[in-house]
Structure 1
Amino acid sequence: MSITQQYLLDTYRARQHGDPTPPAPGTNDWQAMRELADHRRFRAGLTRRQARGRIRAMLTRLLGQHRGAPRRTDAH
């Protein structure tokens, strides 16, 4: 059963029972993603880790080790 079919079935059942209709699929996706990001920042704060830019900081550390090596240049 697809998401659309399930939504239509839930809407039909809600109307039969006089309940409010459920939100359409995808309506609250961005809100859920924001709440997940807020929760992750909160958890990072509890463990005293850096809340933002952890992946960028890790990549900077890893790639920063290679900065001393000479870079290749293409001859035109």
Structure 2
Amino acid sequence: MSITQQHVLDVHRARRHGEPAPPAPGAHDWQVMRELRDRHQLRAALAGRPAHGRVRRALSRLLAPRPRSAR
């Protein structure tokens, strides 16, 4: 049975029991990948390894001195 056939069967069962339909296969793949990346970055920070990528850019924006506007 393919994953698509299993999903159709699960949707059919859910409708017969009056339950909400399950999400389509692959609907939350990107969210899972983001959560895994965030967990990896958190564990790295707790272990004392330096931040990189988006975390480092965000920190540099927060900590960098801002130029004063001329008035």
TM-score per shorter chain, which class?
A: 0.5 to 0.7
Q: CA–CA distance in 2 between the matches of 1:50 and 1:19?
A: 46
Question: RMSD of the alignment, in Å?
Answer: 1.3
Structure 2: 5+ residue runs without aligned partners?
A: 54-71
- Deviation (angstroms), 1:38: 0.5
Unaligned stretches of 5+ residues in structure 1: 54-76
Deviation of 1:50 after TM superposition, in Å, equals 2.8
Equivalent pairs, count = 53
- Report the equivalent of 1:36: 36
- 1:12-66 CA-to-partner distances (Å, cap 9, x unmatched) read 110011000001111111111111100100111111123437xxxxxxxxxxxxx
Displacement over 3 Å in runs of 4+? none
The aligned counterpart of 1:25 is: 25
TM-score by length of structure 2 reads: 0.67
Greater Rg by CA: 1
Q: Which residue of 2 aligns with 1:16?
A: 16
TM alignment of 1:44-59, pairs within 5 A: 44-52=44-52
**Identity across the alignment (%):** 62
Shift of 1:10: 0.6
Q: Which amino acid aligns with 2:42?
A: F
Separation in 2, partners of 1:31, 1:16:
29
